[in-house]
Chains A and B, each alone.
Chain A
Amino acid sequence: MALKPCVRQLGGVAQVWRCVSRSIAHQTYRITAGNTCHDINDAQKAAGPTSARLPRLRHTIPESYEKVEVSTAEWSYVERLLPLKSIPKPTGNPGEVMPSGWVVPSAKPGDYPYFVPRSANHMLPVYLLHKPILSKHVTSVKHVQGDIFALSEELREHLTQLLPSRKIINMRVHEPHQMIQIKGQFVTELKEFLLKKGF
């Protein structure tokens, strides 16, 4: 179905008019403001049933198309479609594990020397940085508030326990950026560690 772009917008009151499409069987109607319209019906009658060419066009709006019925009965259906202006807050008891595996945070600032809040999407701020082609993976924990060095020592201890074969754990603590970077892929391990703490 080919639609000719013949829309003109004026906010507020709308008028109904028809667009001409290539296939006469698939006419569509667009409600917009404007004074030009291709009146296909009258032209069709003039052209006759056997005419293969597009009929001559007239620029009028049928009077009956302008009449509209104003209603607010179905406005609730329109409100349904409007997206929310901000990310909704999740509900649930602190520490509750949801069916998807998402855990409601239970820790509060003050429980530990550090605090790791959730991201804007309520997820744990543990990310994997990877440069394509090169085998360089860096796990990054962001938004770390408070004593970031204490957390970095705990993470080092935790990872040393998990991976006894690894002798060196390369870590970078960036205090002004509230970030700890660890060379390697440890996203799952760090997320588990933070969830156990209640973050």
Chain B
Amino acid sequence: MTSSGTEKALSLLRRLPRVSIGNLGPNPGAHNEKRRGRGIYGGKTHGAGSGGSGQRQNFMRVGYETGNTPFYLRFSYQTYYKGHHLKLSYTPLCMGKLQMMIDTNRLRCDVPVDVTQLMATGLFSISPQQKEGGFMLENEGIDHFKATINIEVQWANEAVIASVERNGGFITTAYFDPLSLTAAIKPVEFFGRGIAIPRRMLPPQHLIDYYSDPKNRGYLADPAEVARERFLLAQKYGYELPDVNASPNKDILLERKDPRQIFFGLEPGWVVNLKDKVILKPTDPELKEHFAS
């Protein structure tokens, strides 16, 4: 005769489903559920690393606050940098460095200086993909700036403009959209792609005012107003504006780009063949009209 316990067990066995991985579990206390520390300085080390490394100069990652949620992770966003992904950043170029490049013949002054010429020195790197717009001229060294150049940058303030014009030079601020900038900074690479030179696009809404202002020597401003502003700035800073016509580099100083032009002397729509050393120009009137617009 079977006992009640055995009977119960047997009846249970009859009723229960087939034993499988899906219906098996460990006994309580079989698995250690202790959480393993991660990282050399974090985890379960109470913010001191292992083996007394906190006593020596083994620094934890910047911002780490020995375990609690750090300041830089507490706030998912801040209002002060709203729209930062839409704004461009510019490579700073001090007037002192510009003067040094001219003094050491690193930057050629027999042609107008623009983004292409500055990049050709090999001293800078610009990545339009990282929302970099080009060059901005800085004040450092404006007192020692003595060169007479025709320069085109993306941003310049009043003092810088005065220092360039005081020496008989000309400065223009011009906008390059990312695709045009990619072409402008590495022309050899661009010509190797076999694409027609694109038209330079106009600045976005938040920049169009800057480039239309004659005070900033914007490339979209009226040349007559720019000339007037040159005269006014000379009076403000107290120097006499040198006469361009008397300068031996008159042609270089007066060279300007069309707002749709990327390179001096080369129009949109042309294809430059570096291998055969020729320029291919479109003849179809529709194409010509498009590129000229």
* Residues of chain A having any CB pair with chain B under 8 Å: 1, 3, 7, 9-12, 14, 16, 27-33, 62, 64-65, 67-78, 80-84, 87-92, 98-102, 121-122, 133-134
A74:B196 contact, CB within 8 angstroms:
no
B275:A16 contact, CB within 8 angstroms:
no
Distance (Å) between the CB of A195 and the closest chain B CB? 14
Q: List 16 A-B contacts (CB under 8 A).
A: A1-B201, A14-B273, A31-B195, A31-B271, A71-B279, A75-B277, A76-B265, A77-B264, A78-B272, A80-B264, A81-B188, A83-B120, A84-B120, A90-B103, A98-B99, A121-B104
B273:A12 contact, CB within 8 angstroms:
yes
A65:B266 contact, CB within 8 angstroms:
no
B193:A7 contact, CB within 8 angstroms:
yes
B145:A90 contact, CB within 8 angstroms:
no
- B283 lies within 8 A of chain A by Cβ: yes
Residue of A with least CB distance to B267? A74
Residue of A with least CB distance to B98? A100
Are A100 and B100 also in contact (CB < 8 A) when A29-B196, A30-B196, A72-B279 are?
A: yes
| A contact residues around B264 at 8 Å (CB) | 77, 80
Residue in A14, A29, A76 whose beta carbon sits within 8 Å of that of B290 in the complex: A29
Distance (Å) between the CB of A77 and the closest chain B CB? 3
* Residues of chain B having any CB pair with chain A under 8 Å: 57, 59, 96-97, 99-100, 102-106, 111, 116, 119-120, 122, 141, 144-147, 179, 187-188, 191, 193-196, 198-199, 201, 263-266, 269, 271-284, 286-287, 290-291
| A contact residues around B104 at 8 Å (CB) | 88, 90, 98, 102, 121-122
Are A62 and B278 also in contact (CB < 8 A) when A31-B271, A83-B122, A99-B99 are?
A: no
B146:A99 contact, CB within 8 angstroms:
yes
- Besides A29-B287, A68-B281, A69-B283, 19 more A-B contacts (Cβ < 8 Å) are A9-B193, A11-B194, A14-B280, A16-B196, A27-B290, A29-B196, A31-B194, A31-B195, A32-B194, A65-B287, A68-B280, A69-B281, A71-B278, A73-B279, A77-B265, A80-B111, A83-B122, A84-B120, A133-B59
